[in-house]
Each structure stands twice: as C-alpha cells, then as structure tokens.
A and B are shown apart, each in its own frame.
Chain A
Amino acid sequence: MACTIRVPSHRKTILAQKGEVLAEVLRRAGIPLVLFCNQRGLCGKCSVEVIKGKLPAPAEKEKFLWKQKILSRNQRLSCLFEIKSDLEIGVPFRSTVQEVPILPALKRTSVSIYPAVKKYVLGIPRPRISSPESLFELLLDGLGEKHLKVSPSLLGELASMLEKAKYKVVVIIHRDKEIIDLRPATEDSPIFGLAIDAGTTTLVMELVELDSGKTVDSQAAFNAQASRGADVISRITYALSGQEKAGELRTLVLNTLNRMISQVLERNNILPSSVYEIVVSGNTVMNHLLLGVPVHSLAVAPYQAVFSRLPYFSAQETGFAVHPEARVYVSPNVKSFVGGDIASGLLASRLDRLKGNFLFIDLGTNGEIALKTGKSLIATSTAAGPAFEGMNISCGMPALAGAVYKVEDVSGKLKLRALAGKPARGVCGTGLIDLIAIFLKRGEISPRGAILNREKRLHIAKGISLTQDDIRQVQLACAAIKTGIRLMLKRNGLREAELDGVYIAGAFGNYLNIENSMRIGLLPSIEERRVIFVGNSSLAGARQLLVSLKERERVESLIKKVSYRTLASDPLFQDHFVKALELKSWP
C-alpha cells in the first residue's frame, strides 16, 4: 500500500510503500540526511519532526535521547522509522549534510620543481622525398630522444595531425618516457595538475600549473560517502554489505571529485583536457575504494591492505574527468590503516630529516601517530572515533559555519567564537576541547569526567549544552590518542621530556588550543613552542608529489623505512587506556 509523505521543510511530497524505512525514502527523494552511523540508530543525527500522522512507539535509543533533551516527544530517528501511514514531517537543518566546509590554513613548504609532465612545442621538418624518414622518428629527433612509448591510437592520428598543424605541434611527455598527447601548436595552452586529499570526511583539491608549480586555486567538498558511514570501518562494512555497494562508494566519491574538478576548472577557464596529472593522497581505505579495489582484507585481523605502492594509471582507467591520458599517482599506503595520507604528511613535514625525537599526530576519526627517533620511524593508528569531528556529541557538528571552535573563560563567563562569524549552532572538536578544559579547571567536572551538578548537564549557550555522555565520548577519544602516544614512547624507551617536537596534522589546524589540549592530557606536557601545527599535511604532501618526481622517489623510500606497530594487541594497552581516561595533564 502506498503512503504519502509530505515534507514542507524541503517542499517535497513523496510516495512510499508501507513498511519502508523513512530515512531511505527521504534519501531517495534527494534530502541529504546525515546518516553517519549507517542507519543503525546509533548517532541520533537523522531526527525528523512528525507534524501530522501517527507517531510510532519510541525505541530505546529515542527514549534515551528524550531524557537527554536531544529529541523532543514528537521527534523520531528517521533511520528507525518504519512507515505505516500518511505523514507530514519536518526535516530540521541539523539533520541534513551542509555544503562547503571551511578550510584550515594550509602551511606551504617549498620544493624544487621537477615535474613529471613536460610540454614541448616543436617544429618538425616537412618530409622530403630525398630522405623519407618516418614521422615518428622525426618527432623523436625533434625531441632529442631515442625511445619514447606511444599508444597505437596516438600513432594513428600522427600523420593527419602533423599535416593539419603544419608540422608545428605540442608534445606532452610523461616522466621522459611516454608521449601522452599531441596537439597542434595553435592549440597550445598552459598545462595543469591536481593534488587531491581524499579524506574520510572532507575532500580537498588544489589546481596547480605544472610548469611553474604554482597553486592556481583550490576546492573543497564533503565526501558524499559520509552518508554511508562516518568512519573507515563503517565504509568497509557498507562496501561488504552487498555486491554493488563497493561500486556505489566508488561512484559517490568519484562523482564528488569530478564535480569539484569541473567547478575549479570552470572558475579558472581551463579545459579538462589541459589537466595531465593527478596525485591522490588518501588513507588506505579511501585509496582502495576510489580505485575499486576490494577491501575485505582490511576488514579483519591482520587488517592487510591489497596494495601499497602503485604504478601509474590513466585518468580514463580511474574515472577522473580530465584528459583521458592524464596520469594518476597515488601516494603509497604505509601499512594496514596507516595510509597514503600519512605518507604524504610525513613527507611534507620532513620528519625523517629532522635530528632528534619527534611525534607526528594526525587527529582525525582514525588517529594516526608516527614517532621519529634516531634513524627509525614507527607508525600506528588508533580508533579515536568521530568525537573530534563533532559526531557522537549531542551538540556536536563538523567545522562549518556556526560551529563554536574556540571558547575562553572570561571572568567566569564563557566567551564563544563560532566559525564564519555566524551565531553558534553547535560545537566542533576544538571548541569541545576548550570547553572540557574550562569546566575541568572550574571544577564543574571531576578529573574522572563526572559532571558535578545535579542536572548532569553543562549549559553553553542557548540550545547548546554538554551531557554526561558527551564528556564520556571526549574522554574515550582523548584516551585513545593519549594511550597511542604513551605506548609509542614507552616501547621506544622515551619519555615525553625527551621529545624535541610534536607535529599536529589534520583539520584541527591552528584552532587547537595547546594549553587546553595539555590540560586534558590529549597532548603531552612539553614546551608550547615545541608543538607545531602543519595543517592539512596530506594535501601539502600531495602538492609536493605533484610538482616533483624526486618527492615521489622520496616518499616511496620513506614508507619502506616506517615500521608498523599494533596498539590493540599490546598487553599494556588496556591498563594504559583505562588510566588515560582520566582528564589530567601528563605524566
């Protein structure tokens, strides 16, 4: 039996079958619902308001959210909502995915340009009957090369193209080895490349002019895969949940990337056929999904990747909407869940070239930690969960307009700062850390994390407050990172005082308050000036890889030097983790 679902908030009227799940129906109708937990009724982010129609009996989770005052009585989680009758519902703003994230500042590192793609404009001698040299030999002579690969299809066009171009041509060569394009000299134009950071939550790209190595523009968007799970493990689960699912994830991320590419190119009046190289820097799971490589070996212990270093693919093979013969380079995965994004980050931060002991921490849903000590580099990954991205937190949100990213205690009053100067409508990771540190200092929460008032709630601003469960989520996320750092130091015989520096990568960027992070124990207590923010180091690394072949050699030898350590199977893990749950500064 068909039911009618009216959604005035989105000006939609949808027909649905009785028994269908509301979230599915809304998503099908194009309403970008936040479904971070993969429709498992866990994250509580997909609530809808029932305006008219029968309210179903609340599930346990919904009752819990009532008690927390996160849901009101006429609200339900759409992912648990089985349609039984006609409905009129409202989908609140906070239940939908918002576009255009705000970028953290990107730190620039300078590298010498050593491009993989080179462009030559040539005049080729017209053929004479006295010396009928073949056209391809003439082309090679003109380039001063003895051997170059070329595709049969390009060879097939050679004669007519040369004639049409009056023997004046542009030749595009990849890594001095292969001709990937030929065009008449009249169609000469600058050539471009794209550096892409393929993050679990956010996708960012830079458009780079290849001859100069200069960044022309950049573009960012949410990874559309996020509606199929917030973290890499739920993405894997989704990919394994049916035959077409991995393909669906690949399409989602590719479509977003291609849309971003066309936006950034159009804005700069550049044709897609002028883009000849793409460098992708992503975590292991993102790399696998993007290339359509199966992820099941990453699903269970020993959590093995299918590939680390890769040969070059063509844009056509990988599905990027640029020149079909453009080459795609993927920053190599280190091992297991420590992926190409960390390889790029280590490259960009020049960790291996520093003298002394350094930590590199990428604070994301999956927290990656690398330690450089003496000549060795050790990396691990730790499941911090999405709390720092604002997920699993009742008033949490990603770093978007209106997110409280900084809080100060000004003589007993909270002074909030929200992104883009908008009124505060939620709290993102850095704001959360500030708040916890402030409440801890004021004695409104105990070091063990209990809220010390009767109400068990901490009021922040109108409509924004922290619950006991929120504090617990932050404690867990902090403890995961803290335990990771501790065990990395301990297993290498180091104390935090012996650290010469801590590099912080990830979207937190400069917003992270160092003092507050140390107060709650997220970062070891060292001199503040030894904490260095490197911003989106995955993107910075991707840009370096794009403009220099030497950097590609470096990253490939770098990852061979990195040894991998598993935290969860360390016998000391539990003990350290439980101790780390306490909100206090090191040691």
Chain B
Amino acid sequence: MKEEMLEKMARAIVDGQRAEAESLAREAVMNRLDLLEVIERGFVPGIQKVGELWEKGDYFLPELISSAESMKAAMAVIQPELRRAKIDAPSKGKAVIGTVEGDIHDIGKNLVASMLQAHGFEVHDLGADIKLGKFIDKAQETRADFICLSALLTTTMLGQKRLIEMLKASGLREQFMVLVGGAPVTQSWADDIEADGYAENALAAVSLAVRLMERKRAKK
C-alpha cells in the first residue's frame, strides 16, 4: 500500500500533475505517514527522474516547469506539517535569486528558482531588473548561502561582475556563494569574474548548489 503510494507520488511529479501531487501529499498527512520518508522516497525520486528525462532530451521547458510546480505544491502541503511536528527537514540551503538591473527577462531565473525550491532549498526570488544592492541586503537579511544572478543580455551580464566587486569592497565576499547564469553566460565568464559557480540550465544549477552546500558543510 505505502510503496504503491510512494510510486504514485513520483509519477505525479514526473507527469507534472499538480493537483494529483497535492492530493497525494494531503493523503500522506491525513494517514500520518512518515513525512520525511514521503519526501525522500516519494516525491524526490520523481523530480530526479525528471532530471534524467531532461538530460536525455525527452523533456523540455514546459515539462520541467509543470514538474517543478507539482513538486512545490506537494511541498507546500508537507512543510507546514513538519514545522508543526517540530521535525527538522534538513534544509538544503538558502538562496536569494533575481535578474540583474537593466534586464527585464526572467523565465530562466524563474525556472532555476522553482527547481531549487522543488529540491528543498529556501528561495527568495527578488524578481527582474533588480538593483545590485538589493541582492546584498536581502542576502544579509536572510543569511543566505547563495546569491544567484541571472542575466539574459550580453550587455547586462556586467552586473554579475559588479556585484562580486561590491561584495569584495564591503568585505562580504566570503559570506555568500555567488552563482551566475543566463543565455549569454559561460563558465569562462564565471571564472573571469570569480563567481563561485555557473550552470547551463536549471537542473545543473540544482546539482551545483547541492555540491557547493556539501563542500560548505564539510568545511565547517
């Protein structure tokens, strides 16, 4: 019975069935199932499968978005219950994300935000055309692990560089890991501006963030 339900949960995420994912999550809460197990063995394998299908080229943006939305819907049901039961779901990490100033494009950024959330990160999405100072303020306020900067134009990419310079100038560079992305951004650009990481797409961004968090924890 339980195994069957866990499988259904994974299926709902893979198929991007938001309502189904939400109702399965509710059912799990009502039946007093082990919610950590529900996440780890039900929903998470689903989103991992989505990642594989994306890698293979079978899935594209619409599938990725509906799966991420379904995952978010399920988590929105489960997380308050975990808090109420004072169970500490292991936080994957905290990220402040937005598109840099001068740039109004935000689909890519929204996708990265959704995927990070779907994988259990706490995400503060500031939106598009965001003043660089605002990223830093919000990161300090939320004690974020990551500042994620999106830029979709070769002209606005420079904002990513400037933010890192601002962090350095105010002695905050070591406090946050800066991730950069967007259509014109490349690994070599990320290296040039001394960002902590670059990812080509939303799923790669998640694995990058997970890897960097592991390294951060290991250092501690």
Contact = CB atoms under 8 A, between A and B. Distances in A.
Interface stretch (B80-88, B136-144, B180-188): B180-188
Contacts of B184: 40, 42, 234, 237
A237 B183 CA distance: 14
A301 B129 contact: yes
Interface residues on chain B, size class: 20 to 34
B57 A300 contact: no
Interface in B29-76: 56-63, 65
Interface string B99-118: 00111111100100000000
A410 to B, nearest CB: 29
Interface in A232-268: 233-234, 236-237, 240
Given A40-B186, A237-B154, A451-B57, A301 B62 contact: no
A581 B106 CA distance: 16
B91 interface: no
B153 interface: yes
Interface in A461-475: 468-469, 472, 475
A233 B153 contact: yes
B128 interface: yes
B154 A301 contact: no
A186 interface: no
B180 to A, nearest CB: 14
Interface residues of A, number: 32
B79 interface: no
Contact of A234 (B101, B110, B154): B154
A543 to B, nearest CB: 33
A579 B186 contact: no
Contact of B61 (A301, A468, A568, A581): A581
Given A60-B187, A233-B153, A574-B110, A301 B60 contact: no
Contacts of A38: 154
A299 interface: yes
Given A236-B155, A301-B129, A468-B57, A568 B104 contact: yes
A450 B156 contact: no
B153 A299 contact: yes
A237 B155 contact: yes
A233 B188 CA distance: 20
Nearest to A238: B154
Contacts of A578: 61-62, 65, 107
B35 to A, nearest CB: 30
Contacts of A468: 57
A41 interface: yes
B172 to A, nearest CB: 24
A448 B63 CA distance: 9
Interface string A432-461: 000000000000000011110000100000
A81 interface: no
A503 interface: no
Given A40-B184, A237-B155, A240-B155, A582 B106 contact: no
Interface in B126-140: 128-129
A9 interface: no
A569 B155 contact: no
A569 B61 contact: no
A376 interface: no
B102 A301 contact: yes
13 contacts: A233-B153, A233-B154, A237-B153, A240-B155, A300-B102, A301-B104, A450-B57, A450-B58, A456-B57, A472-B60, A566-B104, A568-B104, A568-B105
Interface of B: 56-63, 65, 101-107, 110, 128-129, 153-156, 184, 186-188
Given A300-B155, A581-B61, 7 more contacts: A41-B186, A42-B184, A237-B154, A300-B103, A451-B57, A578-B107, A581-B60
